[in-house]
Structure 1
Amino acid sequence: MGILPRHMDESMISATVGQPRRPEGFPGQRMRVLPRPLVSKAMASSTTAELLVTDVGFFPRASSHGRARKNGAGQHIVIVCAAGRGTCTLPTGVHSVRAGQALAIPAGLPHRYEADSDDPWTIWWMHLVGRQVPDLLATIGATPEQPVFGLGDPARVVSLIDTIIRRMERDETMATLLASSGAAWHAMALLAADRRTISRQQADPIEATIEHLRSNVSTRVSLAELAGMAGLSVSHYSALFRRATGYGALEFQTRLRMGAARELLDTTDRSIASVASQVGFADPLYFSRQFHRIHGISPTEYRSHDKG
């Protein structure tokens, strides 16, 4: 974390700086915002009232990104910078944010944050409300004086935020809100653990994305998304991934899905179409072709063979 030398008071936070800034609208972005009546309903529940994700998103290489809230936000904000740089202006000063760091802004605190003009950040972010959020931020050690902190394993936190986005893209049921809250709890716990680990080995961003793929076998994750999780360019990520696994990232995903398919074929009586759907293939014929390409036999032939 770095604090730039010029101090800014609250009145400066709403000042216009440099080029016009956009709050959103970036190629490849993903974002979900809960309807505020649904937030009110969820906050009346004893479970989601402890911690609730109200807004979540991913902004890749967000050139000209910036938000200014002279009265602060109604939610606590957590931003993870996976690549590039940015700054956050608080009443305590101007704080620099770079790849591998996170930024926490308490609810109600006036602020402005923006991407660096030369090296715009790629960020994963979430807005949180709930009775336990202030205590979680205190456990992390994030304060208005020190809102930026390093991460030992950024890709694991990013993976959890990605999980929240995927759940909220699916629907807005109570089950989704609970699952999103659980992933947010896990992410905040990792942030706290990072702050309390005095010495640790450098985390491997490739291994972290591989674990994300293993945990989301039925979901196709794009190469750009994986590279964003690791905070690397697509070309650099692809080279490191192939070096680590011997496969391209998309082929590796296909083989993970085929492993899950073999288990279903071995242990259940589900139809081929049902197995295909379970491991993320909408087209059973395409699934069968991919299965045959990898195994040399069809799913039906594989199931008929004696094994064990």
Structure 2
Amino acid sequence: MSQPSNWPLPAGSSRIRLPQEVVSQLRQHPFSKDFYPLAFGHYLDAQGHLVKRAIHSNYLLIFCHQGRGYYETEQARGELQAGQLLLLPKHCKHRYQAHSEHPWSIYWAHFDGPAAASCMDILGTSPDKPVITLPDWRELRSDVTALLNLQHQRLTLAQAQLAATLLRKLLLDIANIRQRARQVSHFDLLALERWMKDNLHRSLSLADFADFVGLSRFHFSKKFRQKTGTTALHYFNDLKIKQACRLLDQSQQTVRQIAADLGFDDPYYFSRLFKKVMGLSPQHYRNHRIGEQELPST
């Protein structure tokens, strides 16, 4: 079995190797025999990091979160930058190293098992395209932290099972991030607008809109502005003001009541927003429309 390198650890880095006895138990246990970790760790500011393997008997995941480095296999070569993940399959001869002036900081894991063979399909990589970009990788930090915190405990079978579960979850979360990234250009603006109109009585946030379409806040904001030329909150507030105009025209509700119906706790803020959009206050708008309706016909 190929092992992690013995490269000297920089300050703040960690490397966890599962004992061979525990790995053997993982291979036999029904909960982990299809997928199990062998080693994992975090190299921080990895100046001089260089690894060459002619024979590689397990799967290797490397995620760069800072700096950059280089990789080379028989089928692919390139640069690995911050926010990118490299997945090397079993039996893949490879070489990788940190950039000399801007060395990478990387999270990494060696893993194996029959189910590990499907990781490239699940994550959307291939031997000739082993790198993917993860724009929302920061949401993975809790999973990574939980995995690395196991270094402070004795690696019994129970702890190794937990490591296997955490690593499996981490890979599934990466796959979900990839899926959301593919959907960025396809969210349905009309469906979102209908949902906004159904929720004009609520005070919604950017996170609410992003969750509805299944994107991160960053990618939702970027895509929404591309589609509409404005922000989602501005768009939502414009819908509220249009509804406020209808209520001022067609009902006897007070301005305070209308503000409350549209999710505004502060009627004075509602009035300021209304004036900003319409050019006059809600009461002046109502009085003006009533005056127009009372003009005698000629």
Q: TM-score, normalised by structure 1?
A: 0.56
Correspondence for 2:121 among 125, 131, 138: 138
Give 1:28 deviation, angstroms.
Answer: 1.5
Correspondence for 2:50 among 66, 69, 74: 66
Call closer, same or farther: CA 1:159–1:24 in 2, change over 3 Å.
farther
Aligned equivalent of 2:134? 151
State the distance in 2 between where 1:151 and 1:89 align: 20
Contact kept in structure 2, 1:22 and 1:65, CA below 8 Å:
no
**Cα deviation per residue 1:192-216 (whole Å; 9 max; x = unaligned)?**
1222222144659xxxxxxxxxxxx
State the distance in 2 between where 1:136 and 1:114 align: 23
Contact kept in structure 1, 2:22 and 2:160, CA below 8 Å:
no
Aligned equivalent of 1:223? none
Contact kept in structure 1, 2:76 and 2:127, CA below 8 Å:
no
**Cα deviation per residue 1:83-142 (whole Å; 9 max; x = unaligned)?**
000111000131210001111001210001110111100001111111211113211112
Q: Secondary structure at the match of 1:132?
A: helix
State the distance in 1 between where 2:6 and 2:163 align: 27
Aligned equivalent of 1:48? 32
State the distance in 1 between where 2:218 and 2:162 align: 26
**Cα deviation per residue 1:180-236 (whole Å; 9 max; x = unaligned)?**
1111111101221222222144659xxxxxxxxxxxxxxxxxxxxxxxxxxxxxxxx
Give 1:169 deviation, angstroms.
Answer: 2.9
Does residue 1:170 correspond to 2:153, yes or no? yes
Give 1:163 deviation, angstroms.
Answer: 1.2
**Cα deviation per residue 1:273-293 (whole Å; 9 max; x = unaligned)?**
xxxxxxxxxxxxxxxxxxxxx
Letter in 1 for 2:31: T
Correspondence for 1:38 among 11, 22, 30: 22
State the distance in 2 between where 1:196 and 1:140 align: 9
Correspondence for 1:86 among 51, 55, 69: 69
Call closer, same or farther: CA 1:52–1:149 in 2, change over 3 Å.
same
Correspondence for 2:112 among 107, 116, 129: 129
The alignment covers a number of residue pairs equal to 183
State the distance in 1 between where 2:151 and 2:58 align: 18
Aligned equivalent of 2:91? 108
State the distance in 2 between where 1:167 and 1:61 align: 22
Structure 1 unmatched ranges of 5 or more: 1-20, 205-308
Give 1:68 deviation, angstroms.
Answer: 0.5
Letter in 2 for 1:107: K
Contact kept in structure 2, 1:56 and 1:161, CA below 8 Å:
no
Q: TM-score, normalised by structure 2?
A: 0.58
Higher helix share: 2
Larger RCO (alpha carbons 8 Å, 6+ apart): 1
Call closer, same or farther: CA 1:202–1:150 in 2, change over 3 Å.
farther
